[in-house]
Amino acid sequence: DQQVKQNSPSLSVQEGRISILNCDYTNSMFDYFLWYKKYPAEGPTFLISISSIKDKNEDGRFTVFLNKSAKHLSLHIVPSQPGDSAVYFCAASPDTGNQFYFGTGTSLTVIP
């Protein structure tokens, strides 16, 4: 039972444009959300997080939006750069110290 879903396996975006990666979850107890970025042959690296008390968190070119009523979060990358090409995983947890549930990932390709 996939509690965190990333319905787009892949996404292609032109360099300089906005990349929007989406994530849906089913468990209303999820309270803390993260995005990870993964390059081939490497482990995922932490990108940005958001807790349920906020609806937006921004870090440089990366912004995560959370819509709790829709159980939906999204990651915006503006402007997209070729180095952003990677697989992006969203993850959710009932709290920061608990098990995280990951989505299946979205492979982003930024075209120069």
Partner 1 sequence: KAGVTQTPRYLIKTRGQQVTLSCSPISGHRSVSWYQQTPGQGLQFLFEYFSETQRNKGNFPGRFSGRQFSNSRSEMNVSTLELGDSALYLCASSDLIYGYTFGSGTRLTVV
Of the pair 15, 100, the CB lying nearest partner 1 is at 100
Amino acid at 52: S
Q: Where are the beta strands (DSSP E) in the chain?
A: 4-5, 10-14, 19-25, 32-38, 45-51, 56-59, 62-67, 72-77, 86-93, 101-102, 106-111
Q: Would you count residue 99 as binding partner 1 (CB under 8 A)? A: yes
30 lies in the binding site for partner 1 (CB under 8 A): no
Q: Which of 19, 105, 108, 110 binds partner 1 (CB under 8 A)?
A: 105
21 counts as binding partner 1 under rule CB under 8 A: no
Considering only 77, 103, 108, 110, the residue that binds partner 1 (CB under 8 A) is: 103
Nearest CA to 75 out of 5, 39, 10, 23 is that of: 23
For partner 1, the closer of residues 43 and 83 by Cβ is: 43
